[in-house]
Structure formats: structure tokens, C-alpha cells
Structure 1
């Protein structure tokens, strides 16, 4: 998928390839900085290997702006108990601050929605911090927030 968005020549959303690793890691580091997260390098390396593995349920998308990686998403396609088809969890979405507001995140979301529809997956879901106003404006343009509350218990990291 590609298209022209305000402020940039074009956005191309695609699956990452091995040659994207350094730039993907740059975006991944920015994402983790944004959330004040400290993900060990061994986890990052493992995540990258799964993104490139066609047998993995973890997959990624990257967005190129004028030929440079400017955004990324990490997702998990998985079985569910309320559907006969898979669901897609958008776990991480990040856009380089230099191109925020130019439609890169929307291009990634549109591509992901189309991918889910093409695969016949029943649901696409995600969460973000309630204070992430920019992300919430984007996400609210797709669907309104539901009434679920997330609980998280960290175990054996």
C-alpha cells in the first residue's frame, strides 16, 4: 500500500526484510524510550527473528517515507475462543517523531485493517495509555474505546 500524505512524498507500508534490521531497531528503541521501557537486547533480537519467521504468529509492518523507514508495528495473529478465525493483536505501533502527524500511523493502520480483512481474521484489537492523546485521536477514528479494563501481572521475564 502506498499513497501521498500531507508533508511527505509517499508512504509505503510493507512487511520488514532482513536489511531493515538497523532501522527497525532505531524505531524500536524510540518506541521503548517513549514508554520508558527497558527491553533486553536478547528479547529484541528474539522479537526480530520472529518478525522475519513466516511460521511465527508474530509479524511486523514497516512504513517507508521517501524511501526511509519512518514507522513500525508489531502484531500477533492468534486463535481465539469467541471466533472460528484468528484475531490480530496490534502490540506496538511507533512513528519517528520527525514525521508524526503526516499520516504514517494511519497508513500503517489502514494497511493492517486491509491485511486482517484479506486473511479473514475476525478482530483487530489494541490498547494504549489513556494519556496518549495523539494515539487515541487516531484510534478513535477507527473505533470507539470499549469498556474493558486491562490487568497485567508480570511473571518470569
Structure 2
């Protein structure tokens, strides 16, 4: 398995995985948002970046993250916004490897923290996430405009 930065030629594979990820969350993302997301990931605009997991030459998973400033530290903070592994490739440690990759980047680049969230009912993902740290006691509030 290889974990690397996404490159423009990964777009078809990423789009398939992205569509499956969005469907998993029973959501809809307009094409213009998907296109803009890919552009920002590839150009590493606005702090966005994408790492992909590749096995046997096939992109089978991704992590989408945002690097941002914070008020409690002077070092950058990494928010793992999305992580997805193709269902046919699950159970092989790919999700864990994607997180370990981000942990290594945080340490190597001097980022102050890495955080993410998931649905409380997403027990499959949580069984992986719990290997890294326990969920905290914060509650998320969200306004959508």
C-alpha cells in the first residue's frame, strides 16, 4: 500500500470514491461543489489537501483535510474532514494507515493537533478511530445557510 498526495490523474478514481462517500452519508453534493473541491485539493488552496491510498495501482481510499490557524496555538491545526475507503478494500488497515499518515505529517511539519468527527452511530469507523484516541465530550452545533 502506498499513501501519497493526490495528483490530477486521480480525479476519476477520487470522484467514484467521493460519490460513494456522499451516498454513505445519504447526502447530495452539487457537481459544482465537487468540481471546486477537487480543484482546491489538487491546488492545495485554502489549506485543503488530499492524500490517497493506493494498492496494486488502484486508488482505494482518501483523506481530505484542511490546515487552519487557531486561537489556542500558533502552530497550524489539521482537521481531517473526510476519510473513506472503498468497501471492497475495507478490513485491510487502509483507514488506519491514512490516519497514521496524517499523524506522521503533523509531527514532521510541526502542526499542533489533528482532529476529526464522525456520527456516533458509525461504529465501524469509530472502532478504527478509538485506536488513536478516545472521543472527547464536545457537542457539535451547526447552522447551515
TM-score (norm 2): 0.98
Local SS of the residue matching 1:83: coil
Question: Displacement of 1:33 after TM fit?
Answer: 0.6
Local SS of the residue matching 1:26: helix
Q: Which runs of 5+ in 2 are unaligned?
A: none
Q: Does 1:107 align with 2:93?
A: no
Give the whole-Å Cα distance in 2 for the aligned partners of 1:128 and 1:87: 18
Question: Displacement of 1:55 after TM fit?
Answer: 4.3
Give the whole-Å Cα distance in 2 for the aligned partners of 1:111 and 1:23: 20
From 107, 110, 116, the equivalent of 2:106 is 116
| Structure-2 residue corresponding to 1:61 | 51
Give the whole-Å Cα distance in 2 for the aligned partners of 1:100 and 1:55: 30
Local SS of the residue matching 1:56: helix
Greater share of helix residues, 1 or 2?
A: 2
| Structure-2 residue corresponding to 1:88 | 78
Q: Does 1:23 align with 2:13?
A: yes
Local SS of the residue matching 2:46: coil
Question: Displacement of 1:118 after TM fit?
Answer: 1.1
Question: Displacement of 1:132 after TM fit?
Answer: 0.4
Local SS of the residue matching 2:80: strand
| Structure-2 residue corresponding to 1:3 | none
Question: Displacement of 1:54 after TM fit?
Answer: 3.5
From 55, 58, 62, the equivalent of 1:72 is 62
Give the whole-Å Cα distance in 1 for the aligned partners of 2:46 and 2:138: 28
| Structure-2 residue corresponding to 1:4 | none
Q: How many residues align?
A: 145
TM-score (norm 1): 0.90
Q: Does 1:40 align with 2:18?
A: no
| Structure-2 residue corresponding to 1:150 | 140
Local SS of the residue matching 1:108: helix
Alignment of 1:118-137 (within 5 A): 118-137=108-127
Deviations 1:29-52 (A, max 9, x none): 010010011000000000000011
